[in-house]
Amino acid sequence: MNDEYGCDPEVPLRPVSRISVVYNLKKNAGAGEPDDKYEEYDPLSTVESVAETIASFGFSVSLCEQDENFFPRLRDQAPDFVANLAEGRGDARGREAQVPCILESESIPFWGSDAVSMAVALDKLLTGRTLSSEGIPVPLSSSFRGEEDLPVLPELFRQRFRYVVKPRYEGSSKGIFTDSVAHSPREAEDRIRRIWHRYGQPALLEEYLPGAEVTVGVTGNGRPAIAGMMRISPVHPREEFLYSLEEKRNYLERIRYDGPETIPAPLREQLGRFAAAAFRALELRDMARVDFRLDGDGIPRIIDVNPLPGLSPQYSDLPILHRLSGGSYPDLVRSILASAFRRNGLAFSALPVEADAL
């Protein structure tokens, strides 16, 4: 079997009947924890939406939370396949690789990227270096681990006059606030120290890109397909816009999502090409969301790659952009599942999906 492109056509496909959905359940932050501590985790409504959609294809589906009872629960369920939504436990930068590592060790096929790609993609500095080495445009960025790194700030501000300060390995806009743009070395140092104190990890200083923000969905494997794209804009335009934690939490009032028809065709082609190139460069599998900002010259630069995008049918970017591009939620889940089945040499005989079902 070819792990990336699919199975040998002469090998019989293995049947699947039992699928487990593995996840981390969102909870309230404890005393002394940042209020966005569990921002990446899923509410039960999202887990149930994924599970119910997979069940509608004719599979027997179980829920399997990654908690202290994860191992015995997984072995008791004995799934033929896992739909992995789990972000991982703890704060380490390899946390998104935890469940893939376990599933690999147990020889359980699953959807999504493997442990190595998950770990690299969560680290924004390593992601940027990987993409840049492949000629894919990314912003200028620099990592700040401790006091010894701060003296370089004046030199960086001679190269660019404003930067976004963010955690180096977080998702869901954790650590990105409306005041995360720094205009001077002093402001940058204040925001860097906030990241150190709040998240206990290096801060990333990334040049602020003034153009539009666009996110692109990618599905598939050897020849990844563009699942859709959308432009993300503030309802009330302002000079410096960040798709920050506050904006995401209040997206209904603050954010406007515009479909691909609002993006000029040449730019759509460029965005799709760069997104697919990033997917291949990081050796991702089955699904991803690639976030762009346009620089001052209108060139799209990748600011984040998420191989474990949210799948809430209500508020997650990937389902929204897929819907704005003419797809439905069941279509999206089915395409991810079918891609992973092909890659693992599994038989997929799902029930037909209604085009307008959500």
Residues 220 and 326 in one domain: yes
Confidence at residue 260, expressed as pLDDT on a 0 to 100 scale: 97
- Tell whether 316 is covered by a domain: yes
- Tell whether 120 is covered by a domain: no
Give the whole-number percent of the chain exceeding pLDDT 90.
89
Confidence at residue 348, expressed as pLDDT on a 0 to 100 scale: 80
Residue span of the structural domain in which 33 resides: 18-113
Mean pLDDT of the chain: 93
Residues 196 and 229 in one domain: no
CATH number at residue 244: 3.30.470.20
Better-predicted residue by pLDDT, 339 or 1: 339
| Domain boundary, last residue among 182, 207, 232 | 207
Residues 177 and 83 in one domain: no
pLDDT in tens, 273-312: 999 999 999 999 999 999 999 999 999 999 999 999 999 9
Residues 186 and 223 in one domain: no
347 to each of 5, 113, 337, how far by Cα in Å? 15, 20, 11
- Tell whether 313 is covered by a domain: yes
Residues 193 and 219 in one domain: no
pLDDT in tens, 132-182: 999 999 999 999 999 999 999 999 999 999 999 999 999 888 999 999 999
pLDDT over threshold 70, residue 353:
no
Q: What is the DSSP string of 315-335?
A: T-HHHHHHHHTT--HHHHHHH
Number of domains in the chain: 3
Confidence at residue 222, expressed as pLDDT on a 0 to 100 scale: 85
pLDDT in tens, 27-74: 999 988 999 999 999 999 999 999 999 999 999 999 999 999 999 999
Residues 217 and 199 in one domain: no
- Tell whether 352 is covered by a domain: no
- Tell whether 132 is covered by a domain: no
Residues 314 and 263 in one domain: yes
- Tell whether 24 is covered by a domain: yes
Res. 3 pLDDT band, cuts 50 70 90: very low
pLDDT in tens, 4-28: 445 544 556 888 999 999 999 999 9
CATH number at residue 91: 3.40.50.20
Q: What's the pTM value of the predicted model, to 2 decimals?
A: 0.93
Confidence at residue 92, expressed as pLDDT on a 0 to 100 scale: 93
DSSP 3-state assignment of 81?
strand
Residues 28 and 55 in one domain: yes
- Tell whether 121 is covered by a domain: no
Q: Where are the alpha helices (DSSP H) in the chain?
A: 44-55, 70-77, 98-105, 115-122, 124-133, 153-159, 185-199, 245-249, 251-254, 265-281, 317-324, 329-344
Contact (CB, 8 A) for 347 and 319: no
Residues 177 and 265 in one domain: no
Residues 200 and 236 in one domain: no
Contact (CB, 8 A) for 334 and 318: no
Query: For 257-264, what is the mean pLDDT?
Result: 97
pLDDT over threshold 80, residue 99:
yes
pLDDT over threshold 60, residue 352:
no
The closest of 356, 340, 300 to 108, measured between CA atoms, is: 340
| Domain boundary, last residue among 66, 94, 113 | 113
**Distance (Å, whole) CA 230 – CA 248:** 15
**Distance (Å, whole) CA 90 – CA 99:** 13
